Structure 1
Amino acid sequence: MARLTRAQQQERTRAAVLAAARREFTERGYAAAKVDGIAERAELTRGAVYSNFPSKRALYLAVLVDMVEGGPKAELPTAVRGGAVEPGAAHERGGTHRRGNAADRSGAAEAVPSIAGALGAFARIRLEGMPLAEGSVFSGQGQLRETAGVLDDEPFRTAFGQLTHLEALLLALALEAHAPAHAPAGRQVRRAQLVLRLLDGPGAAADPALGLGDPFDIVQACAHLGALPLDDAWNPPHLPYVPPAQTCGHPWTPPGQSRDLITGLPVSFAEDGVIALLGTNRLKSAEEAVRAARSRDRVTVVVTTSDPAETGRLVRLRAGDVARCLRRVFAPDALPRLRLVLDEHGLLASALGVPDADDATEYAVRVRQGAIVARAKGRGAAHAAASSGLMTSHVSHTTPDGAAS
């Protein structure tokens, strides 16, 4: 038998740790799971576990990411997003909300007639597997959705909160692209934020089996939000004080292709547009880039973090989950044009001239014809780069496609 190379042995050890961790977390939940128990299941030492994963939380997130990104047959949990979703078909009531057909299983979008219909469908998918009766509890795979103990420090909670803003922006962009003529006009960001708050609220409790309410009521409430008149005014108080981007003419040489976390497609960065490099503490600024950009601009958010093992995996997990939900509700041409890339190794940050990027980074450039023509850094950088060269203000007036009104 051929002898395994060092890389092959490391990969085999990592796979054994992941498999053992998945069993441990499933049976015991995150809080009660022990690294020693995982090592024993994998027939490895505690040191071998930590040589592959720096912490229990990093290992937990790796298990979830592996399940989300593991291919067509992978189960799709949404543990750390704050909701509670079992793999499988969505809940049905009298056939009204049936989503278990072949098109749905293959990931094809179903037609939705209105903003309310889209929000109802999104809510059903997001809440798949929620206990149907008060007092019901999760078992087996459901324990992988436990949040108690995961968000146990401020930096991780901050990243989690910033990611919810980014998720709302992605849902809003899909709603705006999908909206028929009779839908509420304008931006949909505030509506999307309300929907996600309503959906994720049950998961905020330490015990997700308590106080969930009826999932059908939650779905109907989300659908009703589609018709609620909302003022999506846009006047952040700091934007008038943001200095304009600096004009320049530096050649732009991106470090090869990256992958869009929303579509899974490669990103070459060859198109003209805006690239916003945002640390996980600054992801809310992605909305500033979208609001200020021209309608023809390609906006790309590059996420950077100093902790790829934990925070980086959190980004992959939540982005992958919201993308899964969007693909099941919206047609391909309604998916957000915003591209989302995780710069795990700092290659894009270095190419942009920010070699020391971390979770507090906010840096943005405008690219045109293979060159960086404007740069901005610090708070408001995404807005400054996106609005560079424009003759009108984007502080209070923008249209749904991001063009000046």
Structure 2
Amino acid sequence: MARLTRAQQQERTRAAVLAAARAEFAERGYADAKVDRIAERAELTRGAVYSNFPGKRALYLAVLVDSIGPAEPAEGPPPSGVAEALGTFARGWLERLPLTGDTPAGGKLQLRSLAGVFDDEPGRGALARIAGLEARLLAFALEPCAPRQARRVRLAELVLTLLGGAAHLADTAPGFGDPFDVAHACRHLATLDLADTWAPPHLPYVTPARAVQETWKPPAELPDELTGRPAGLDADGVIAVLGTGRLEAAEEAVRAARPGDRITIAVVTGDPAETGRLVRLRLGDLAGGLRRVFGADPLPGLRLVIDEHAAVAAAAGVPHADDATEAAVRVQAGRIIARAGGRGAAHAAAIAGDSTTTRS
């Protein structure tokens, strides 16, 4: 029998740890789960568990990420309007609610619940900013359904708040409420006039992008979290490298994009094992919901990658990427023709290209 390579052995160990952790969390929940018991279940040492995952929280997040199944993209015509889109999105999202008779710990896993997992301030702050990006991505998908009512971010925030509340009640008071009523309410939220406008006061004062002529050498292909396909990092357009503390700047790039532009958001973090997995979990969940409503490419022109090893950041000339990073480049014909850094960089790179917006 052929001996396993080191990489194969590591993958086998990791799979054994994940399977044991899934069983431990399903039986005891996050709070009462123990790494020592996970090691025993996997028939491994405690050290073998920690060599793959730095702690229980990182392991729990890995189990949740692993539980996200493939989402079948919608077939047929797109939604006829915002209300239909929201109703379909909500019904798909509510399928994760645990059923009567599920154990509390098993129900939390099915919900992919983060209750009690991020009780520290950095974790809670990161979760809030990721939720803000989720709302923007949902809004970007909704807005073409009613182009005369431009921005839909506040509506998306309201819908995600309602769905999050339904999940919390399913976690803490199982059996309360009717999911079909929640989905119906999401449809009706589309009728609200939330007076949503887009006019950030700092954008007129953003430092213009700097014109350059540098070869663009993208790293090995990374998956796009929105489609599940390769992100196509060699395409012309804007590459925005955003730390988890600057995720809201994704909207600045998207709003400023020219017709036909490809906007790629590369998310970086100083803590890939926990914050990086949290980003992957929440955006993977959201992307699956968007594909079920809007098809295999729910946000044409937008790509989102988790730059776990900061490879995209390095290629874009950002050597020390962390949670506070905001930098961007504009790529054309295999060359970087403009670059920007600091607050407003994503906007500056998106509008770069003429003498009035790009400085030498």
Q: Would you say same fold, with TM above 0.5?
A: yes
Match of 2:5 in 1: 5
Q: Is the 8 A contact 1:173 1:336 kept in 2?
A: no
- Deviation string for 1:106-157 (max 9, x for gaps)? 5434653321011011111111143678xx8654632313323211222222
Q: CA 1:157–1:230 in structure 2 vs 1: closer, same or farther (change >3 Å)?
A: same
Give the alignment's TM-score, normalised by structure 2.
Answer: 0.90
In the TM superposition, what is the alpha-carbon distance from 1:383 to its structure 2 partner?
Answer: 1.1
Counterpart secondary structure, 2:248? helix
In the TM superposition, what is the alpha-carbon distance from 1:232 to its structure 2 partner?
Answer: 2.1
In the TM superposition, what is the alpha-carbon distance from 1:5 to its structure 2 partner?
Answer: 3.1
- Deviation string for 1:351-387 (max 9, x for gaps)? 1111110111000111122211111111111111112
In the TM superposition, what is the alpha-carbon distance from 1:326 to its structure 2 partner?
Answer: 0.9
Counterpart secondary structure, 1:281? helix
- Distance in 2 (CA, whole Å) between partners of 1:46 and 1:212 is 40
Gaps of 5+ in 1: 73-104, 394-405
Counterpart secondary structure, 1:246? strand
- Deviation string for 1:15-56 (max 9, x for gaps)? 111110000011111111111111111122212211111010
Match of 1:95 in 2: none
Counterpart secondary structure, 2:30? helix
Match of 1:292 in 2: 256
- Deviation string for 1:301-333 (max 9, x for gaps)? 001111111111111111111111111111346
Counterpart secondary structure, 2:245? coil
Q: Is the 8 A contact 2:97 2:167 kept in 1?
A: no
Match of 2:40 in 1: 40
Q: Is the 8 A contact 1:277 1:304 kept in 2?
A: yes
Q: Given residue 201 of structure 1, which amino acid in structure 2 is its aligned partner?
A: G
- Distance in 2 (CA, whole Å) between partners of 1:244 and 1:46 is 52
Q: Is the 8 A contact 2:139 2:155 kept in 1?
A: yes
- Distance in 2 (CA, whole Å) between partners of 1:334 and 1:309 is 28
Q: Given residue 340 of structure 1, which amino acid in structure 2 is its aligned partner?
A: L
Q: How does 1:234-253 map to 2 (within 5 A)?
A: 234-253=198-217
Match of 2:113 in 1: 146
Runs of 4 or more consecutive aligned structure 1 residues displaced over 6 Å after TM superposition? none
Which range is displaced more, 306-315 or 194-203?
194-203
Q: Given residue 59 of structure 1, which amino acid in structure 2 is its aligned partner?
A: L
Identity %: 63
Q: CA 1:270–1:10 in structure 2 vs 1: closer, same or farther (change >3 Å)?
A: closer
Q: Given residue 158 of structure 1, which amino acid in structure 2 is its aligned partner?
A: G
CA RMSD of aligned residues (A): 2.5
Match of 1:25 in 2: 25
Match of 1:108 in 2: 74
Query: Which one has the bigger helix percentage?
Result: 2
Gaps of 5+ in 2: none
Match of 2:309 in 1: 345
Q: Is the 8 A contact 1:122 1:326 kept in 2?
A: yes
In the TM superposition, what is the alpha-carbon distance from 1:189 to its structure 2 partner?
Answer: 2.0
- Distance in 1 (CA, whole Å) between partners of 2:354 and 2:241 is 21
Would you say 1:201 and 2:165 are equivalent positions? yes
Q: How does 1:65-80 map to 2 (within 5 A)?
A: 65-68=65-68, 72=70
Give the alignment's TM-score, normalised by structure 1.
Answer: 0.81
| Paired residues, number | 354
Match of 1:124 in 2: 91
In the TM superposition, what is the alpha-carbon distance from 1:241 to its structure 2 partner?
Answer: 2.2
Q: Is the 8 A contact 2:227 2:296 kept in 1?
A: no
